[in-house]
Amino acid sequence: VTAQHASLASDSHIVNNANYYGYNLQGKITRAHNAQSTLKQQFDKGGRLLHAEQVHNQQQAHTLKYSYDDYGRRQTLTLPDSSTLNYSYNKFGQLSAIHLQQANSTANDSASAAQPLVTLSYDSQGNIQTQKFGNDITLNQQFDVFNRLTQQQLTHPAQTLFDTCTYNYDSINQLIARKNEGVSSHNINFEYNSLGQLIQQTLATSSTDTTTHYQWDSFGNPQSQTVQSSTSDADSSEQNTTNTDASSSIDLTRATHSEYKELAPNSSKSSSKNSSNADSVVNNECTNNTTINSATDADRLTHFGDSDFHYDEFGNQIRETGKGIKTRREYNAFNQLSCFNNNGTLTQYDYDPLGR
């Protein structure tokens, strides 16, 4: 491919985009440019990248320089500010450390001036067992015989236990339990249907149990999400009914783990109204139930809770509207996000010819 051209008719104007490419005899891209960026690259005889220079919007060039050892592994990376990342490897060829060499350091004091960014060690199966970072935080990891992550522990010399997370799996490698101890302590259990879809998540803390049920249609699209929250202490629940926390829940609109608050802002009144009955029936338990429904069209999520989602003819999400939410997205002719307006805060994006 030596050139790419695309046009898109938007609401108010026509968007034209183009990328151009040049190659060496090995087929490697040596030059590429578009309206925003120009990229130049140099390679050695083995096809390894040695030099990359990028100019964005005719501003100052940013250059990256690479070097390799006799085994073809990256040895150094020189950054645009002339500082250098040095890479070290163990006897098995695994990355063991990355050090930062400041630009003003000389060869004579390079050993003392190099700052450790991360040091790594591995188990017998090649899994990363420990990572010690430059800020003295250490991440320890354990794996089972199937190379599944079973425990992570963050430690720091100033604090005995920073955070520990333990993971359990079922026979088909689905995560069924996660236990957190440290800054925030809680247990989360997961249940799945025969298709591997998450149908229930139970979050247990010292004072609150929160169970979330998920329903899916026959195409795998989310239909509803029901949250049941119960607090064992009636006095504490009465103080906290206006702020229901559900940490580490699943946000179906973004398909990622997130933390959200005030999931059921309208449930505080009903929970307070029924608290006296709940005290006598369920042994000082206060239960709040909230159901969030969703709708899909052509496998696209169009409604979730208070939010509505709109798409263009290419399937790109262009608008989200809801309670306190108003976002708008624009795309260029290559379907790359070019503009994002989040409640009046505007962010614009440019891309180089490689789509970065």
* The pLDDT of residue 233: 56
Model pTM score:
0.76
Nearest to 305 by CA among 248, 275, 260, 340: 260
Residue 279 three-state SS: helix
Instruction: Provide the mean pLDDT of the chain.
Output: 85
* The pLDDT of residue 252: 41
* Phi, psi values for residue 267, rounded to 5°: -90, -5
* Phi, psi values for residue 306, rounded to 5°: -90, 0
138: Cβ contacts below 8 Å, ≥ 6 apart: 130, 131, 132, 154, 155, 156
For the cut 70, the answer to whether the pLDDT of residue 266 exceeds it is: no
Indicate the pLDDT class of residue 79, thresholds 50, 70 and 90: very high
> Is 164:186 a contact under the CB 8 Å cutoff?
no
Q: What gap in Å lies between CA 138 and CA 352, rounded to an integer?
A: 36
* Exposed/middle/buried for residue 228 (C-beta within 10 Å: 0-12, 13-18, 19+): middle
Q: What gap in Å lies between CA 63 and CA 51, rounded to an integer?
A: 7
Which secondary-structure segment (H or E) carries 121?
strand 115-122
Q: What gap in Å lies between CA 118 and CA 156, rounded to an integer?
A: 14
For the segment 275-317, what is each residue's pLDDT rounded down to a tens digit? 333 333 334 456 788 999 999 998 899 999 999 999 999 999 9
Indicate the pLDDT class of residue 272, thresholds 50, 70 and 90: very low
Task: Give the number of other Cβ atoms within 10 Å of residue 51's Cβ.
Answer: 14
Percentage of the chain beyond pLDDT 70 is 81
Average pLDDT over residues 272-276: 40
How many H-runs (helices) and E-runs (strands) does the chain carry?
4, 28
Written as six digits, the tokens of 107 are 């060869």
For the cut 70, the answer to whether the pLDDT of residue 170 exceeds it is: yes
